[in-house]
Structure 1
Amino acid sequence: MSRISTAELSRYLLTGRFSRRGCLNSRLSRIAPVRQTSLSSQGRSLGTSAETATAAPPSATAAPITPLRKQLKEQAKALKASGKKKKKNKADNQTVPGWELTVGIEIHAQLNSARKLFSPAATSFNDKPNSHVALFDVAMPGSQPLFQPEVLIPAVRAALALNCAIQPISRFDRKHYFHWDQPAGYQITQYYHPFARDGRVVLHARDGIAPEDGDRVEIGIKQVQMEQDTAKTTAQPGDVHWLDFNRVGLPLIEIITLPQIHHPATAAALVRKVQMLLASVDACVSGMEAGGLRADVNVSVRRTDDAAAGGKLGTRTEIKNLSSFKAVEDAIIAERDRQIAVLEAGGVVEAETRGWSLGSTETRRLRGKEGEVDYRYMPDPDLGPVVIGDDLVAHLASSMGVLPDAEIDELVGRYGLSAKDALSLTTVDDGARVQYFYNVLDALEARLGLDKTGAASDQRHALLAANWCLHELGKLTELSSDLGMTPEGECNVPSAALAAILAHLHRREITAKVAKELLWDAFRGEVTADSVTQKIDADKLWFKELSEDEYAQLADQVVQGEDKVLGEFLRFKQGKAKAYPQGKLMFLVGKMMRAGTEQRMDPASAERVLRARIEDVYLPRLEGR
């Protein structure tokens, strides 16, 4: 039997009509048409029932059937007329009038260490399950923890990046709770005597904070503590769970913020900023997308009148194990709205632990909230204090390198990049893309013979390099799975080869289209830094630009019959329009590019000549009429 066309199916599903040709006739003729119902009626949509299964086909006098698309339009109009608000987007959903949100965050990050926290077993990410397990990891009777001093290196670097004060002496505690992923029945942590305290993270508008926070907000870090991770649980059908003890004992730091966050977008920006800081100092090499960083958020609300009067914070709930920046913001919004609804209905918010699933619209209760008494904290009798010397702290602080904020400021101030592009360069490829940019820039300046001393007086070459390193190189990843970017800032397109291409483009010796073709050749390994010029010469790709007179002739040609467009420029000149009609100008530039020879035209030159002709020739003619 041949396939039923989409058109026939839609006619049957939406109007009850069907084709009687072929084998469909004998089978579908006995099927009653689908009963049309209102989409808003009792929450139902198009469907069938026992009543319609025996109904006769619609007669010629039956009421006309309203198309589904029209029904949806009418339903949207009715919703708008009823005054009901649509779901807010995140930008408009940062505050609720009359209420204050308060959020504190606990971030768990896996340290970049070769060994576990209390055993010499190797840290493992993708190795065979249960292949890196020491006796202490599975709480074998008689085994004892052995602190691995090398874990201090990434831990201290992380705390320094968060502007924390390193404590000379810290101690470990046992936090008791029972679950299958914790073999010993307790977790070793540093709740009472952490190794770092009193830090801060500064967030700027470019980091994605809520507009209500202005250009800058500072979030305090209460403490940073070392602790061990639990086993990895993989759920299987039939209420079966598999445990991988490779993850037991992996070294973590827990970063506890002060409750100083009042907008969901700022909370997500904080987690994103912390991940970037930890990656920049090589403390945590696996981010949220790979499971190396997780966040728990504590959410409470109170009326703004109580906040103004200095009243205490509302009852907080904790949302556990958020694994993406989007989940952090979405879960806070959902929990804030739930708590407000409970309080406005006269209820009481309970202190509890709640969960969140990606794609959800509300949090769900997991269990009651545990406190210090529930965990029965006690000093670990098998572990002595951790003593961190000032010489180690000084050495690590001096070898940290440039942190992201300082690097972004340098890219914006020295090279003229936008804050958005500067932030992208420092974060893409775990920071390797910005090193690639510096490699390209060094090679480009050498080819152009530019002096690197002092602030760059002409930033055009740096902006050109940044644009290609970020955007044009990024387009290659749309068709290729990986650029092969290394931490040293090299990839499948050698930085020297890209610099050679950009040198010709900067001198206006080739067009952007030719440069993009050469970029693909370099990606495929068909050209190198030394063969770019030979490739251009062999294929006759040199750019021979039109003269000023030739551009002017094209401009005269394309404005013929465009009096209405030119009238927009005249209205601006006469003060009758607030904004310069840039869109109209680019419309005419596009006509010029299509009318001329593409290989000999530069859009910037075409725009410059056309703008001058409009102001010096065409507008005076219009005014003289």
Structure 2
Amino acid sequence: MTRIPTAELSRYLLTGQLTRRGCLGARRVAFSRFSTTTIAGLSQTQKPQEQQTQRIPSQPPAANTPPVPLRKQLKEQARALKASGKKKTKKTDNQTVPGWELTVGIEIHAQLNTARKLFSPAATSFNGKPNSHVALFDLAIPGSQPLFQPETLIPAVRAALALDCDIQPVSRFDRKHYFHWDQPSGYQITQYYEPFAKNGHITLYPRDGIAAEDGESITVGIQQLQMEQDTAKTTAQPGEVQWLDFNRVGVPLIEIITHPQIHHPATAAALVRKIQMLLNSVDACVSGMESGGLRADVNVSVRRTDGASSGKLGTRAEIKNLSSFKAVEDAIIAERDRQIALLEAGGVVAGETRGWSLGSTETRRLRGKEGEVDYRYMPDPDLGPVVIDDNLVRHLGNSMGTLPDAEVDQLMQQYGLSSKDALSLMLLDNGRRIEYFYDVLDELEQRLGLEKVSETTTVDAVVDQSHARLAANWCLHELGKVVELLDGLHGGRVAEDYSVVPATDLAAILAHLHRREITAKVANNLLWGLSRGEIRSGEVTNEIEEQGLWYKEISEDEYMSLCDDVVEGQDKVLTEFVRFKEGKSKAYPQGKLMFLVGQMLRTGPEENMNPASAERVMRKRIEEVYVPGLQAKE
């Protein structure tokens, strides 16, 4: 087969433009204005004749016009905004609009962590070939019947307990009717009238990222949690073709419906983020927003605060399928501003479903808003009621472990971590990063001969927890760089179990670093050596010994000699210190001092220098030698 040039592949993948020669141009058919839906994964002989053809757009892009990358589009938008004289509003300044009140309700769909689908024994594998995990009922084959899988209740109940919901002893399934190619039966099985959990709540704090206007905390009510089945995965192809993968049909979901009690965009994003963290902490959710395991729909309405709205909420518009925390906040801001502008111009907000795209500045209309009558809800005649025993609820409640708020408090109080670092550890890699941190910390404490901090001990009561903060910093930042690079090289999350850097080896590096036996630069090189396989697991100390990497700090005289070399010719910088000493400047020129220290570290043997010692010696030489010398010259 002839090798296809990269430029041709790029035109095909990004714009749908097909070459006129070679295998891609072998089939040519007349373009139809109707879109084609194809079931991905079927063999060529299994596809209907009309689905075997390759579609060619009626007006393909010019051959010499390359596609514009999204990043370049965003930069051009920023330049256009700057040229127009408008200033980009910071999100912290864009949480409210004077004279208007925003109200938001959220519906979150999360894939449950189960081995089987909701109503069939097919596996819920997301790594298999398209359409390889499909049962007869998933495809709505005539005569097939739904068979409820009781094991799907376990993560669902755990999620409801984490959200402080009341578990209903009896719940029932309903049919929600709509017609779309991703739902072969023509209806979705859900729990509309009698869900399995009701009346929950979630409390958000400033550390969760809520808007400053919400104060010290805000509690959002959870109306209900309901179990339902997912739809097929649709992948858009060039030429208005849609590929369908029915592996996702029937995957068990929970839909979390909040009360309309959110009034700021940042708080809405914080709620979605915290719910994802809660679901991960109780092992209820397969994956997060970043990998498609959790999606959010937001209902947005506005009303005037001058009393003209008579206390009624405004007409709401729903924004569907938001797939990131940033998208939640940005879409709410854009839709709020659209509705306000429409009402101020004398228009009327229509109840409709709208969409949002990455990099957009406004939402777009998708369709009119369906209501209860449109969906024709009815009890599913093929499924009996679901009965949840109190013993199961008590057992799951007692075995859930520590919830995120309690764990964040523990990390802050026992180990002195900041709330930002504690939350980051818990959010990254669906909770695997925090587990890795604990493994590193346990091993590090053993190597340093430290006693394990009890749960009742606070950071104020212990002598030193700098080793815990050191471990957290390296697990978040230095290890994060390694994982990010390896994922980029291998096209996936190949390092999410951190097997490339075992916890025992990172603890060995940090133990030497904490004792100041090696420098941070050497520690970083050892980390990268482990990740590339250049250093075998368990050989960290031997590598330091063989390569002569032990830290041997230079003498005081050598520090002073470096100071003299760096300060030579820096009279202009030293003048700032003279001004401070003479009272002409109120603030000590710390920035100038650190500039000179940085020059010292770059000039001298960095692997044998301590930045704190370098700063101490430089400060002393400035005060005792350089400043008096400069004053004598004047």
Assess same fold via TM > 0.5: yes
The answer (yes or no) to whether the contact 2:287–2:430 under 8 Å persists in 1 is no
Letter in 2 for 1:91: T
Q: Which amino acid aligns with 2:531?
A: F
Give the match for residue 565 of structure 1: 573
Residue correspondences, number: 546
* Bigger mean CA deviation after superposition, 340-349 or 383-392: 383-392
Identify the residue that residue 4 of structure 1 maps to in structure 2. none
The structural deviation recorded for 1:283 is 1.1
Question: Of residues 458, 466, 469 in structure 1, which corresponds to 2:464?
Answer: 458
Q: CA deviation at 1:78?
A: 8.3
1:514 aligns with 2:522: yes
Q: Which residue of 2 aligns with 1:187?
A: 188
Is the CA contact (8 Å cut-off) linking 2:119 and 2:147 kept in structure 1? yes
1:72-471 matches, cutoff 5 A: 79-80=84-85, 85-306=86-307, 311-454=311-454, 455=457, 456-471=462-477
- The correspondence of residues 571-586 of structure 1 with structure 2, limited to 5 A, is 579-586=587-594
List gaps (5 residues or longer) in structure 1.
1-73
Establish whether residue 494 from structure 1 lines up as the match of residue 506 from structure 2. no
* Greater Rg by CA: 1
Deviation at 1:314, TM superposition (A): 0.7
Deviation at 1:152, TM superposition (A): 0.3
CA apart distance, 1:90: 2.8
CA contact 1:484–1:491 (8 Å) conserved in 2: no
- In structure 2, what is the Cα distance between the partners aligned to 1:75 and 1:116? 49
RMSD, aligned α-carbons:
2.9
Cα 1:237–1:462 change in 2 (3 A) is closer
**Which runs of 5 or more residues in structure 2 are unaligned?**
1-78
Trace 1:4-19 onto structure 2 (pairs within 5 A): none
Q: Is the 8 A contact 1:162 1:200 kept in 2?
A: yes
Query: In the TM superposition, what whole-angstrom CA distance separates every residue of 1:532-591 from its partner, at most 9, and x where no partner exists?
Result: 233222222222112345434544554455455345446556776565432112112113
Residue by residue over 1:181-207, the C-alpha shift from the partner in whole angstroms, topping out at 9 and shown as x without a partner, is 223322221112111112222223333
- Judge conservation of contact 2:226–2:255 (CA < 8 Å) in 1: yes
Helix, strand or coil at the partner of 2:147:
coil
Alignment CA distance shift 1:532-1:360 (3 Å)? closer
Distance in 2 separating the partners of 1:298 and 1:134: 35
d(CA) in 2 for partners of 1:213, 1:474? 32
The answer to whether the Cα contact below 8 Å between 1:497 and 1:528 also exists between their aligned partners in 2 is: no
Shift of 1:618: 6.0
Preserved CA contact (<8 Å) 2:166 2:197: yes
Secondary structure at the aligned position of 2:616 is classed as helix
Partner of 1:13: none
Give the distance between the partners of 1:78 and 1:138, measured in 2 at CA.
54
Deviates more, 1:432-441 or 1:98-107: 432-441
Q: Which residue of 1 aligns with 2:555?
A: 547
Q: Deviations over 1:171-229 (max 9, x none)?
A: 22222222232233222211121111122222233333223333432222111111112
The alpha-carbon distance between structure 1 residues 195 and 580, as it changes in their structure 2 partners (threshold 3 A), is farther
> Are 1:182 and 1:231, in contact at CA under 8 Å, matched by a contact in 2?
yes
1:598 & 1:182 partners in 2: Cα distance?
63
Post-superposition offset of 1:615: 5.4
Q: Give the distance between the partners of 1:478 and 1:244, measured in 2 at CA.
A: 29
In the TM superposition, what whole-angstrom CA distance separates every residue of 1:339-359 from its partner, at most 9, and x where no partner exists?
A: 111100111111111222233
TM normalised by structure 1 equals 0.80
Whether contact under 8 Å (2:486, 2:494) holds in the other structure is no
- Per the alignment, in what secondary structure is the counterpart of residue 299 of structure 2? strand
Cα 1:536/1:291, change in 2 over 3 Å = closer
Describe the superposition over 1:454-494 as per-residue Cα deviations: whole angstroms up to 9, x where unpaired: 4442122122222222211122235423685465xx42112
Counterpart of 1:500 in 2: which secondary structure?
A: helix
The aligned counterpart of 1:601 is: 609
Aligned residue for 1:588?
A: 596
Q: Deviations over 1:325-366 (max 9, x none)?
A: 222222212211111111001111111112222332222222
Q: Is the 8 A contact 2:483 2:496 kept in 1?
A: no
Q: In the alignment, is the contact (CA less than 8 A) between 2:414 and 2:453 conserved in 1? A: no
- 3-state secondary structure, aligned to 1:227: strand
Tell me the distance in 2 between the aligned counterparts of 1:120 and 1:271: 31
Cα displacement (A) at 1:311 = 1.1
Map of 1:10 onto structure 2: none
SS at match of 1:256: strand
- Give the Cα–Cα distance (whole angstroms) in 1 for the partners of residues 236 and 538 of structure 2: 55
1:137 shift after superposition: 2.4
Residues 1:313 and 1:571: Cα distance change in structure 2 (over 3 Å): farther
Secondary structure at the counterpart of residue 249 of structure 2:
coil
SS class of match (1:517): helix
Give the Cα–Cα distance (whole angstroms) in 2 for the partners of residues 562 and 503 of structure 1: 39
C-alpha contact 1:432 1:485 (8 A) present in aligned 2: no
TM-score by length of 2: 0.79
Tell me how far apart the structure 2 counterparts of residues 581 and 201 of structure 1 sit (CA, whole Å).
47
In 2, the alpha carbon distance for the partners of 1:608 and 1:369 equals 68
Does the CA contact (< 8 Å) of 2:81 and 2:87 recur in 1?
no
Distance 1:160 1:524 in 2: 43
Which whole-Å CA distance do the structure 1 matches of 2:612 and 2:161 have between them? 47
- Relative to 1, partners in 2 of residues 1:310 and 1:585: Cα closer, same or farther, differing over 3 Å? farther
1:429, 1:485 within 8 Å by CA — same for their partners in 2?
no
Amino acid aligned to 2:600: M
Residue by residue, what CA displacement relative to the aligned partner does 1:44-96 show, whole Å, maximum 9, x if unpaired? xxxxxxxxxxxxxxxxxxxxxxxxxxxxxx9999854xxxx334243332222
How much has 1:623 moved relative to structure 2?
8.7
| CA apart distance, 1:386 | 1.3
**How far off is 1:431 after superposition?**
1.6
Give the partner amino acid of 2:591: G
Q: Is the 8 A contact 2:139 2:246 kept in 1?
A: yes
8 A Cα contact 2:233 2:245, kept in partner: yes
Q: Which residue of 2 aligns with 1:611?
A: 619
* Aligned CA distance change for structure 1 residues 130 and 515 (closer, same or farther; 3 Å): closer
State how far apart, in whole Å, the 1-side matches of 2:247 and 2:236 are: 17
Partners of 1:400 and 1:96 in 2: CA distance: 41
Task: Give the match's secondary structure for 2:263.
Answer: coil
- Asked if 2 retains the 8 angstrom alpha-carbon contact of 1:107 and 1:255, the reply is yes
Residue 401 of structure 1 and its aligned partner are, at CA, apart by: 2.0
Distance 1:260 1:379 in 2: 30
Q: CA deviation at 1:240?
A: 4.2
Distance change in 2, residues 1:146/1:78 (3 Å) = closer
SS at match of 1:480: helix
CA shift for structure 1 position 613: 4.6
